[in-house]
Amino acid sequence: MSRPPRADGARVTIADVAARAGVSLSTVSRALNGNPTVDSALAEKVRDAAAALDYTASPVARSLVLGRTQTVAVVVPDLGNPTFQAILRGLSRAAAADDYHVLVADSAESVDEERVLATATRRRTDGVILCSPRLPQDELDRLVGGLKPVVLINRSSGDVPSVRADYRSALTAELEHLYAQGHRRIVFLAGVARSVANAARLEAIAEFAAGHHDVEVTEIPCGVDFEAGAAAGPAVRASGATAALAFNDLVAMGLLSAVQADGCRVPADLSIVGFDDIPFARYTSPPLTTAAVPASELGAEAWARMRGLLEGAEPAHPLSLLPELTVRGSTGPAPAP
């Protein structure tokens, strides 16, 4: 809302507040920005003058005085992914409650673009949050040193504050669910090779297979979207597997659509498991068994760590949140041999 004009038609300025309160421009600036060096009675006098004139400081001027933009950047690998959207929702709402804005940049799964965006957005903001960055670990370690304050989501680097979902434990829970249902031949539709979340899933599979010698888990390179899952349908059917673990719900939905169109019954012929529990997962036919990632909470926790850094606090300890297995109709007992 614009400020009302003065009697001469000009807009109210900080000089008008200073004149009404009988103080200097610097005193007005310090009082309105909460500087504790200003006498409390004088600060109240300045605030009263500002209120009487309906004066509010320009955001640009405030940024110059505070040396802050009241904005943080968030770099994500794919804005089309509902999980990243949920993380952003939780983060932006938490930041807004602290009078901060969020600048969002999408790297489109490009490491080169991610590197450029991280550096460019940091120059224009008070800090940067990297969500599931795809950079190799050694390069990420070098990059974050020049970005501070910086927070990581689903990655770690030295003492940089981080929050993550425990993908490894969650995928193990999915495997145990399928095993209990009698499935012994399983395929995993892998995501992006450079994704740390994908690596955590592969580690869980290797550990599970090592402890269950009667289980065969085959990896099929796939991707992260609906089209990738649909394209993997023929390979899944040809594998002879009775169950398929998808990298995420979008892949699972693509696979579900493709195999059913080909006459495959889910779960009678093939059980399908997703990951993330995006809003659409419960509305597929049949509803999708998946692991519910607390995405919004991840975003809020990431902001809490960034706020701490901006306030000069010591870096918070890493936080790990466990996704919850959600069993629905897309999984069932393994078909008889």
8-36 pLDDT tens trace: 556 778 888 889 999 887 788 778 767 77
> With b meaning 16 or more CB within 10 Å and e meaning fewer, what string describes 1-27?
eeeeeeeeeeebbbebbbebbebeeeb
Question: Are 279 and 89 contacting, i.e. CB atoms less than 8 angstroms apart?
Answer: no
Residue 7 in this model has a pLDDT that exceeds 70: no
pLDDT digits (tens, 9 = 90+) for 99-138: 899 999 999 999 999 999 999 999 899 999 999 999 999 9
pTM: 0.78
Confidence band of 58 (pLDDT split at 50, 70, 90): low
Mean pLDDT on 315-327 = 94
CA 333 from centre of chain: 34
Strand order in the sheet with 128-131: 101-106, 71-76, 128-131, 150-153, 162-165, 319-321
pLDDT at residue 285 tops 50: yes
CA dist., res. 328 & res. 333, Å (int): 13
Mean pLDDT of the chain: 91
Q: Using 50, 70 and 90 to split pLDDT, how confident is the model at 233?
A: very high
Q: Are strands 271-273 and 243-246 parallel, antiparallel or unpaired?
A: parallel
Residue with tokens 């938490």: 94
pLDDT of residue 41: 86
Residue 64 has pLDDT above 60, yes or no: no
Predicted local distance difference test score (pLDDT) of residue 25: 78
Give 73-102 pLDDT, tens digit per residue: 999 999 999 999 999 999 999 999 998 999
Range with the poorest average pLDDT among 27-31, 236-240, 321-325: 27-31
In this structure, what are the phi and psi dihedrals at residue 25, rounded to the nearest 5 degrees? -60, -40
d(CA 289, CA 293): 13
Q: What is the DSSP letter of 5?
A: B
Q: Look up residue 201 and give its two tokens.
A: 């899933």
User: What are the distances in angstroms from CA 102 to CA 94, 122, 331?
Assistant: 10, 12, 39
**pLDDT over 80 at 65, yes or no:** no
Going from the C-alpha of 18 to that of each of 32, 56, 66, 67, the distances in angstroms are 11, 13, 19, 22
Cβ contacts of 137 within 8 Å, gap of 6 or more: 157
DSSP 8-class letter at 269: T
pLDDT at residue 11 in the model: 72
What is the Cα–Cα distance from 203 to 163, expressed in whole angstroms? 20
